[in-house]
C-alpha cells in the first residue's frame, strides 16, 4: 500500500475529534512489537525493520505520536521476568528507534501492560525507570487506566509518577467496556491528570468481539457494551464531564 493509499484510508475512516480512537486518528497510532527483547539477531533485526516500517507508515499518515506496547510481543512469555540482557537490548533498540522517529517528527509513547499480557514492562514505576535509562526526547510513556487498575497499588499516584514522561492517555474501564460503567475512579483520575498539566489526547480504549484475533489476544469472551456507538457517546460524556469537574 502506498503512502497515498494509507492517507486515503485514514481520511475515510477518521473518528470523532474529541478522542484519538486507536486506529481512527492520524495523530496517534497503536503498535505492538515482534521479538524486540529476544536473544537472536534475526528477532532483533525483524524488530528494527518493523519499527522503521511503522514509523514510515505513520509519517505517511501525518501522525505525530505512536503509542502502545512498543516493547513486547503481546501475550508472549519467557516463563520468568525480564533479564538484564533483555533490558539492555531493549534500551539500545529504543534509543535507535527514537533517533529514527525523531527525524520523522514522530514521538514514541511506550505503554506498560499488565502482567497477564506481557512481562517486559508491567508497571508505571518500571516504565519510568526504563525511560530514564533510554533518555531520548523522542521516546516517552503513556498511562492506561485499565492496566493501572490491575498493576498499581495506587493508580492515581501512578499518574504523578509518570507525568514528566506522559504523552498519551488511554481512558479504559476496568472491564474494557464503556468508560464510566465500571469501578475506575474517574473523578480522581481526571483531577490527577489536570493537576499533572497533561494537555494531550484522551483515547477511549474499549474492546469488543468484532475482531476475533484481537478479542482472543485481550481475552474478550463476552460483550461489554450494547454497541460501538454506546462506547463513544457515553465515553465522551464521561471525559467531558470528568475533565470539566476536575478543573
Instruction: Tell me which of 8-22, 132-146, 226-240 is least confident.
Output: 8-22
The answer to whether 133 and 84 are in contact (CB under 8 A) is: no
Spatial CA neighbour of 75 closest among 35, 18, 16:
35
What is the model's pLDDT at position 136? Answer: 99
> Percent of the chain having pLDDT more than 90?
74
> Sign of the C-alpha dihedral, residues 137, 141, 142, 143?
negative
- pLDDT at residue 27 tops 80: no
Q: Which is more confidently placed, 10 or 161?
A: 161
What is the model's pLDDT at position 31? Answer: 61
DSSP state string for 73-108: -TT---SS---HHHHHHHHHHHHHHHHHHHHTT-EE
Residue tagged active-site, from 11, 99, 111, 125: 111
Q: List the domains of the chain with CATH numbers.
A: 3-245 (3.20.20.150)
Report helix, strand or coil for 193. helix
How much is the mean pLDDT over the chain?
Answer: 87
What is the model's pLDDT at position 188? Answer: 98
Q: Is 111 a catalytic residue?
A: yes
- pLDDT at residue 148 tops 70: yes
What is the model's pLDDT at position 45? Answer: 85
pLDDT in tens, 168-207: 999 999 999 999 999 999 999 999 999 999 999 999 999 9
pLDDT in tens, 40-52: 667 788 889 999 9
Q: Is 152 a catalytic residue?
A: no
Cell readout for 124 is 508505571
* Phi, then psi, of 171 in degrees rounded to 5: -95, 100
Residue tagged active-site, from 117, 125, 205, 229: 205
On the CB side of 19, CA atoms within 13 Å amount to 24
Q: pLDDT band at residue 16, thresholds of 50, 70 and 90?
A: very low
- pLDDT at residue 105 tops 50: yes
Amino acid at each position: 500500500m502506498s503512502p497515498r493509499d494509507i492517507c486515503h484510508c485514514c481520511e475515510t475512516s477518521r473518528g470523532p475529534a474529541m478522542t484519538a480512537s486507536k486506529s481512527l486518528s492520524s495523530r496517534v497510532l497503536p503498535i505492538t512489537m515482534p521479538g524486540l527483547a529476544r536473544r537472536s539477531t534475526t528477532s532483533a533485526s525483524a524488530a528494527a525493520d518493523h519499527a522503521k516500517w511503522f514509523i514510515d507508515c505513520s509519517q505517511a499518515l501525518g501522525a505525530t505520536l505512536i503509542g502502545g506496547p512498543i516493547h513486547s510481543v503481546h501475550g508472549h512469555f519467557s516463563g520468568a521476568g525480564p533479564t538484564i540482557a533483555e533490558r539492555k537490548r531493549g534500551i539500545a533498540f529504543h534509543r535507535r528507534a527514537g533517533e529514527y522517529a525523531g527525524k520523522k517528527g514522530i514521538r514514541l509513547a511506550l505503554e506498560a501492560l499488565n502482567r497477564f499480557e506481557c512481562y517486559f514492562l508491567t508497571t508505571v514505576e518500571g516504565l519510568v525507570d526504563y525511560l530514564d535509562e533510554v533518555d531520548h526526547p523522542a521516546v516517552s510513556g503513556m498511562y492506561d487506566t485499565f492496566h493501572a487498575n490491575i498493576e498499581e497499588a495506587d493508580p492515581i499516584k501512578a499518574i504523578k509518577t509518570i507525568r514528566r514522561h506522559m504523552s498519551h492517555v488511554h481512558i479504559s474501564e476496568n472491564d474494557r467496556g464503556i468508560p464510566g460503567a465500571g469501578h475506575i475512579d474517574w473523578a480522581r483520575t481526571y483531577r490527577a491528570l489536570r493537576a499533572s498539566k497533561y494537555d494531550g489526547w484522551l483515547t477511549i480504549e474499549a474492546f469488543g468481539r468484532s475482531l476475533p484475533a484481537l478479542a482472543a489476544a485481550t481475552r474478550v469472551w463476552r460483550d461489554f457494551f450494547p454497541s460501538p456507538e454506546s462506547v463513544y457517546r457515553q465515553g465522551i460524556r464521561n471525559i467531558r464531564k470528568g475533565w470539566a469537574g476536575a478543573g
